[in-house]
Amino acid sequence: MDSSTSGILHDGDIAYDEQAHQRMREPKSEDDLDLTPMVDVTFLLLIFFMITAAFALQKSIEVPPIQDDQAAPTQTVDDLEKDSIVIRIDGDNVYWIGAPRWPEEQRALSVQEMRTTLREARGEDKSGPAKLLVQANGDSRHQFVVAALDAGSGEGLEPIRLMSYEDGDLEL
């Protein structure tokens, strides 16, 4: 009788069946999780976000630290205004520039006008006051205050003092 038709297994058939059984028990290599594409995508995203991130350089104004042994001298606003150029920024972000040589404040609606008026207040020969006092209303925008501080620094005015006020604090 033929071994394929009989129910009796020969040694060759048993070996074949054991090999098939072992192949079924072993995990297939296709079932393993390959993390390489996920790592590649992660690095690509990291590079993308690093390149597209906006790194803005911030300008800063140095403020010297207050030392404990130095007591701050008490000065009034009138004392500060006597020998200083004053830039007042109202709640509508309009600049008002005052100088000891002018009887009234000059109005400037833009940063460029404020810079020009500040140069006039200082004088062509820079013989005018060398100090600056910036008075900012609490409702004024930060960018207008910074523009006034930058303009004073650009004109070489030192020291630059900053004070804030609310409507009704200053008598105009």
pLDDT at residue number 3: 47
Name the CA dihedral angle for 68, 71, 77, 80, rounded to a multiple of 10 degrees: -100
- What average pLDDT does the segment 4-12 reach? 51
Hey, where are the domains in the chain?
A: 11-52, 77-165
* Beta partners for residue 165, in sequence order: 137
Mean pLDDT of the chain: 78
- The model's confidence at residue 153, banded by pLDDT at 50, 70 and 90, is confident
pLDDT above 90: residue 83: no
**pLDDT 10s digits, 13-68:** 555 566 666 666 665 556 677 888 899 999 999 999 888 887 776 666 676 676 66
> Stretch 70-91: mean pLDDT, rounded?
76
Choose among 154, 66, 157: nearest CA to 112. Answer: 154
Per-residue pLDDT, 16: 56
- Give the DSSP letter string of 85-127: EEEEE-TT--EEEE-TT-SSPEEESSHHHHHHHHHHHH-TTS-
Select the highest-mean-pLDDT range: 25-29, 44-48, 133-137, 153-157.
Answer: 44-48
- CATH code: domain 77-165 is 3.30.420
> What angle (nearest 5°) sits at the alpha carbon of residue 62, between those of residues 56 and 66?
140
Compute the 3-state secondary structure of the chain and give helix, strand, coil in percent, each to the nearest 5.
40, 15, 50
